[in-house]
Amino acid sequence: MLSWDVSPNLSSMRQERAWVEINLAALAQNVQQLKGLLNPKTELMAVVKADAYGHGAVTVAQTALQHGATWLGVATIPEGIELREAGIQAPILLLGATNTPEQVRAIVQWQLQPTLGTPKQALVFSETISTLGHRRSLPVHLKIDTGMSRLGMPYPEAAEFTRLVARLPHLKIASVYSHLATADSPDPTIMRTQHDRFQQAIHSIRETGFTPPRLHFANSAATLVDASLHYDLVRVGLATYGLYPAPHLRDMISLKPVLQVKARVTQVKPIAAGTGVSYGHQYIADRPILMAVVGIGYADGIPRNLSNQMSVLIRGQRVPQIGAITMDQLMLDVSAIPDLREGEVVTILGQDGNQSISADDWANTLGTISWEILCSFKHRLPRVAIGQPLETHPQTIMG
């Protein structure tokens, strides 16, 4: 689990070589902005799977719930249990698949809500719960595959699947949903096809005489791009953390990145012209430079493929990284800051003065997506909450 430090002045961070800062005010603002896009009857699910995209699930969940989210989405049972153990009572949807009787028992015990995507799975749930002697039915969410081709019942069989689950004892259908494959693309063709299929599936379900109590379809991109995709609930991950799923969605609302990565200078020294730096000497100084060593490396989640291709921020200035990034340390050319001292803070990812480096910048360099960058920071980096919204009480967010 993450270690949390909520002191706003970071005083106890003085000893840390590197850490992740989580800006709760930015998080609260993002949630409020997202909520503002929605019809008042549409609920907001904060997707906090994968430890809230690396931000720390408990703190993110509590802050999101305090500012307008009413549902939480996780991928796995342990992720759901972590939230329940922290005292969180909001409904929690398991977005991933669960299949075994052991998993069914844990879901019932912890009051999590599973996604069902096959008849076999529904039967395992119904039969396992019948052995538990529970009176109340378990809320379950039916997943329809409309073109993502991942979990879910193929959309032409949605009505038959719904009828089967509706008849099984101990299960209560709480929603019918689907997931989009290309909502972040500027070309809406496939998204529209998926939406047509979703509407077709819902129509066929209603024709059997069953009305799903809740429908949901939209991830971050779909939430930003088209209100007709919102239905009763939107499932928002990335935008909660202050990043846009695609550049063309930037105009919709003003989001602020929640996560920043910081580290300290641990040594400063001059390097003579012709000197090689770090493993493999992938950088050789072509002139005398001032070099700084920083206490963060690929074992903290800085992608090694950024070696010689990234810059960082010190005193509001952009400074190039040089040589191979090593497991626990990386080097900088700090010739532009001749009086730099050991212990000074380096912004690896985030904002310093009017300069900023975003997860999108790294993703573009690396040919990946910002989602993967956010999830890459290791638990060796303590998560430090800053910028607490006024309504929040520090005691309640210690994880």
Ligand X SMILES: *Cc1c(COP(=O)(O)O)cnc(C)c1O
Whether 231 is catalytic is no
Query: How far apart are alpha carbons 253 and 33 in whole angstroms?
Result: 7
Residues that bind ligand X (CB under 6 A): 47, 49, 95, 179, 219-220, 235-238, 245
Residue 143's SS3 state is: strand
Residue nearest to ligand X (CB): 237
By C-beta, is 113 or 220 nearer to ligand X?
A: 220
Task: Write the single-letter amino acid at 241.
Answer: Y
Helices marked H in 4-118 — which ranges? 24-37, 49-53, 57-66, 77-85, 101-109
Minimum separation from the CB atom of position 203 to ligand X (A):
22
120 has catalytic annotation: no
Please tell me which residue in 35, 49, 143, 262 is annotated as part of the active site.
49
To ligand X, the closest distance from the beta carbon of 151 in angstroms equals 8
Q: Smaller CB distance to ligand X: residue 126 or 194?
A: 194
Q: Give the Cα separation of 162 and 151 in Å (integer).
A: 15
Find the catalytic residue in 155, 172, 231, 279.
279
Torsion of CA 108, 113, 117, 120, to 10 degrees: 10
CB of 219 to ligand X, least distance (A): 4
SS3 state at 316: coil
- DSSP letter string over 239-287? GGGT--SSGGGTTSS-----EEEEEEEEEEEEE-TT-EESGGG-EE-SS
Query: Which CB sits closer to ligand X, 60 or 236?
Result: 236
Length of the chain: 399
Smaller CB separation from ligand X, 93 or 349: 93
Give bridge partners of residue 345 from the DSSP assignment: 264
If the CB atoms of residues 95 and 346 are measured against ligand X, the closer one turns out to be 95
* Minimum separation from the CB atom of position 284 to ligand X (A): 41
Angle at CA 382, nearest 5°, toward 377 and 383?
80
What's the min distance (Å) between Cβ of 270 and ligand X? Answer: 45
Active site residues: 49, 279
